[in-house]
A and B are shown apart, each in its own frame.
Chain A
């Protein structure tokens, strides 16, 4: 997948005033593979909704989202599953780990689906983000910061063309944010993939080429 296009997309539920001031809603926006795009918006302006629309989790919007010219709304559940395992990866704001599985199992269940890295790479990444000692711990017993880093590592285990980040560092300190961002950029670059990062404020250590206000 090389291109995502938004044609006059706007959430069904958002106030008209917010839509009118947006650089994305009700506009035509094109995002190319390899691009670094930063989306900045305050709470309640639809950042998570935007990421979920792109990931095919919600359809409560009007307008069209096109993947290489094909409307996302027309995709079958199988098409969506194929996109999620080969072309799109995501870090959710609410993390979404299996609470009853260990951190390692949470990563493996994603890695086994479409392995991009060897298992040893998981340990390497865990070391880099300082969670290697947490890999055998159940998801529910890890702190939010640890869970966030596990979720980041999990998102980097598959092939992807676009990486969607929804407030990915909300539970991390400055030092861990930088480390995580560096790892994400390195992984995206190795795949020639785009990063679409949505956050409350601009992130200085993200080498974005474009910033859009939602």
Chain B
């Protein structure tokens, strides 16, 4: 059939009800623009918040404890093996490790040079959770020397109160020279001493860390349990700000370092706003398409006699639907491409004005936005075609 729309154009009363047609075009344009901008902003927020978070080896390590409240403070708030396994099983958590604590009394003194003595706690964690791991961080039964990894925060605190106590301030590099005697007491009062050496300082874990082999041995021989439940665990994740992770931790009522995840919370709020905007945009698009469908129904109802006669003469309803639907493809294309171009302008202004053209954000819209525009185009054309086809088959 060498026929085209121009041959049947005068049989359709498309000129009727112009206001509702133009109103639906306008609505569709606004809806598509809102949706594309929402998607682009969602991606921008994701990108920016991810980049704000200092990461090591591509992972974030976060300490997780149970929330201690007035209601549960008398109870055992340590993590059971099942709870640790559940944390590990989450797809957004790459790994989780309990921090093993000492089950015996431990005391440290630094001899005559730094005359102080204090009760202390010791903890151990599997090696791959440590940011600094010297090769000497090992221990085996019978070894007198006990390697220690010390928290940088604790060192800072020590340096704050040391002058007031007439103690020398220590740098991270000189702390290794201090000889510490670690006194470990058994349940019957028996005491075993070790020569402690701080061999590294860690930014990641706020604790006094000893080799796991040592703590397991000491807990077994001096305490009453080799592997007691952990009061806190460390999780390893690719994105500490992921909404899934935050909602999981909230749902379990686990406590995390707010600073580590604060961008995540901002991100959650911003993404909720942008998602709401996206939802509103979808609603606007739906309303615009409904208005357009009413216009189409009106056109077909007003052209009913002509269309019926065309079908009677042998015009195929499939061909008629396609030909009539095709008439609106350029209109949809113009609306969606204009919205895409405007989204690019909005994104460029956002990138330039608010972020001073930071390199972390590309000046061009994300391919996903283009994909969304393509999907919208496909949807508009398909919905339009199916509606016309349905109306024509009903004639």
Residues of A whose CB lies within 8 Å of any CB of B are 57, 77-78, 81-86, 96, 98, 100-101, 109-110, 112-114, 158
Residue in A82, A86, A101, A110 whose CB lies within 8 Å of B313: A110
- Partner-binding segment picked from B2-10, B191-199, B217-225: B2-10
Complex CA gap A85/B315 in Å reads 7
A82 and B1 contact, Cβ closer than 8 Å, known pairs A98-B11, A101-B10, A109-B310: no
Residues of B whose CB lies within 8 Å of any CB of A are 1-3, 7-8, 10-11, 306, 309-319, 393
Complex CA gap A181/B265 in Å reads 87
CB distance from B4 to the nearest CB of A (A): 10
Cβ contact within 8 Å between A78 and B2:
no
Query: Which residues of A sit under 8 angstroms from B2, Cβ to Cβ?
Result: 112
Complex CA gap A198/B312 in Å reads 19
Cβ contact within 8 Å between A81 and B1:
no
Can you sample 25 A-B contacts with CB below 8 Å? Answer: A77-B311, A77-B317, A77-B393, A78-B316, A81-B311, A82-B316, A83-B314, A84-B312, A84-B313, A85-B313, A85-B314, A85-B315, A85-B316, A98-B309, A101-B10, A109-B7, A109-B310, A110-B313, A110-B314, A112-B3, A112-B7, A113-B3, A113-B313, A114-B1, A158-B314
Complex CA gap A116/B126 in Å reads 87
CB distance from B174 to the nearest CB of A (A): 90
Complex CA gap A100/B309 in Å reads 13
CB distance from B218 to the nearest CB of A (A): 84
A sample of 7 more A-B contacts (CB under 8 A), given A85-B316, A113-B314, A114-B314, is: A78-B317, A81-B315, A81-B317, A82-B316, A84-B312, A110-B313, A113-B3
Q: Is the interface of B mostly helix, strand, loop or mixed?
A: helix
CB distance from A57 to the nearest CB of B (A): 7
Complex CA gap A119/B182 in Å reads 110
Query: Which residues of A sit under 8 angstroms from B318, Cβ to Cβ?
Result: 77-78, 81
Complex CA gap A98/B309 in Å reads 8
Cβ contact within 8 Å between B317 and A113:
no
Complex CA gap A114/B314 in Å reads 9
Query: Which residues of B sit under 8 angstroms from A109, Cβ to Cβ?
Result: 7-8, 310, 313
Query: Which residues of B sit under 8 angstroms from A77, Cβ to Cβ?
Result: 311, 316-318, 393
CB distance from B303 to the nearest CB of A (A): 11
Cβ contact within 8 Å between A113 and B312:
no
A113 and B315 contact, Cβ closer than 8 Å, known pairs A77-B393, A98-B309: yes
CB distance from A79 to the nearest CB of B (A): 10
CB distance from A98 to the nearest CB of B (A): 6
Query: Which residues of A sit under 8 angstroms from B311, Cβ to Cβ?
Result: 77, 81
User: Which among A83, A84, A112, A113 has the highest number of chain B CB atoms within 10 Å?
Assistant: A113
Closest to B2 in A: A112
CB distance from B121 to the nearest CB of A (A): 81
CB distance from A202 to the nearest CB of B (A): 28
Complex CA gap A114/B315 in Å reads 10
Complex CA gap A77/B1 in Å reads 17
User: Which among B3, B11, B313, B317 has the highest number of chain A CB atoms within 10 Å?
Assistant: B313
CB distance from B80 to the nearest CB of A (A): 65
Complex CA gap A83/B313 in Å reads 10
Closest to A99 in B: B305
Complex CA gap A77/B309 in Å reads 14
A84 and B7 contact, Cβ closer than 8 Å, known pairs A77-B393, A98-B309, A112-B2: no
What 6 A-B pairs are tightest by C-beta distance, nearest first? A84-B314, A85-B314, A81-B316, A77-B317, A110-B313, A78-B316
CB distance from A209 to the nearest CB of B (A): 27
Complex CA gap A114/B1 in Å reads 7
Closest to B10 in A: A101
Closest to A89 in B: B314
Query: Which residues of B sit under 8 angstroms from A78, Cβ to Cβ?
Result: 316-318
Closest to B318 in A: A78
Closest to A158 in B: B314
Closest to B4 in A: A112
Query: Which residues of A sit under 8 angstroms from B316, Cβ to Cβ?
Result: 77-78, 81-82, 85
Cβ contact within 8 Å between A81 and B10:
no
CB distance from B8 to the nearest CB of A (A): 8
User: Which among A77, A100, A109 has the highest number of chain B CB atoms within 10 Å?
Assistant: A109
User: Which among A57, A83, A98 has the highest number of chain B CB atoms within 10 Å?
Assistant: A98
Complex CA gap A82/B317 in Å reads 10
CB distance from A114 to the nearest CB of B (A): 7
Closest to A101 in B: B10
Residue in B1, B11, B306, B393 whose CB lies within 8 Å of A113: B1
Query: Which residues of B sit under 8 angstroms from A83, Cβ to Cβ?
Result: 314
Closest to A92 in B: B312
CB distance from B78 to the nearest CB of A (A): 71
Complex CA gap A84/B50 in Å reads 65
Complex CA gap A163/B306 in Å reads 23
Complex CA gap A98/B313 in Å reads 11
